[in-house]
């Protein structure tokens, strides 16, 4: 006996399930747009890394920002818990010691900032790894352009705005395609 779409319509006929479906879709779309809207951060971070003159310092920063990509999400949330927990969290402890707050803040116990915190965790976890894509693209920009710009009197920011960023823009669109598909 063929039932057609009968069982697919059940969640939409129940008001509680329908509200849950709308909430889940809203959250998914919001997180997707937040992620895609801030997808240029790794590009700017790669430019920042490229502009660091001290090579050992640059390597340390690059390593420390790439390591979180290889940490499981369970460990990420364990770190977040140890930082932001209500009673034992480092952030609450620090804010109390500095007399910036009078009572601990329930950072993890409220749903006010869930989108922001989820975006922050994902950004922290993947910023260094995604910056590697742009660092490799930086190497493909012709160094003669920088030399010509320097002869023409361009400073550091002029080179960044007129050579580096336009040179990275074709690479900037590629990571957005999987982001849209995976979300």
Q: Span 75-100, mean pLDDT? A: 90
For residue range 97-141, what is the model confidence (pLDDT) as tens digits? 999 999 998 888 878 778 888 888 888 888 998 888 888 888 888
| Separation of alpha carbons 120 and 77, rounded Å | 12
Both 80 and 168 in one domain: the answer is yes
| Block residue for tokens 């240029």 | 40
Both 23 and 100 in one domain: the answer is no
pLDDT in the model for residue 25: 92
Number of domains in the chain: 2
Q: Is 42 left (phi over 0), alpha (psi -120 to 50) or beta?
A: alpha
| 61 close to 52: Cβ distance less than 8 angstroms | yes
Q: How far is CA 150 from CA 91, 133, 135, in A?
A: 45, 26, 21
Structural domain containing residue 27: 1-37
Which CATH number is 66's domain given? 1.10.3720.10
For residue range 27-59, what is the model confidence (pLDDT) as tens digits? 888 888 888 888 889 989 999 988 888 889 989
């Amino acid at each position: 006996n063929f039932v057609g779409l009968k069982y697919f319509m059940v969640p939409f006929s129940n008001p509680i399930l329908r509200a849950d479906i709308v909430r889940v879709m809203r959250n998914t779309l919001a997180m997707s747009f937040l992620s895609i809207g801030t997808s240029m951060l790794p590009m700017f971070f790669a430019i920042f890394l490229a502009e660091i003159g001290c090579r050992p310092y640059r390597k340390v920063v690059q390593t420390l920002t790439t390591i979180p990509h290889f940490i499981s999400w369970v460990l990420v949330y364990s770190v977040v818990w140890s930082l932001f927990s209500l009673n034992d969290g480092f952030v609450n402890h620090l804010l109390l010691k500095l007399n910036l707050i009078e009572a601990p803040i329930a950072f993890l116990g409220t749903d006010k900032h869930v989108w922001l915190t989820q975006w922050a965790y994902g950004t922290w976890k993947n910023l260094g790894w995604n910056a590697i894509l742009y660092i490799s693209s930086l190497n493909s920009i012709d160094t003669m352009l920088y030399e010509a710009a320097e002869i023409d009197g361009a400073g550091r920011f002029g080179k960044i705005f007129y050579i580096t960023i336009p040179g990275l823009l074709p690479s900037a669109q590629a990571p957005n395609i999987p982001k849209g598909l995976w979300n």
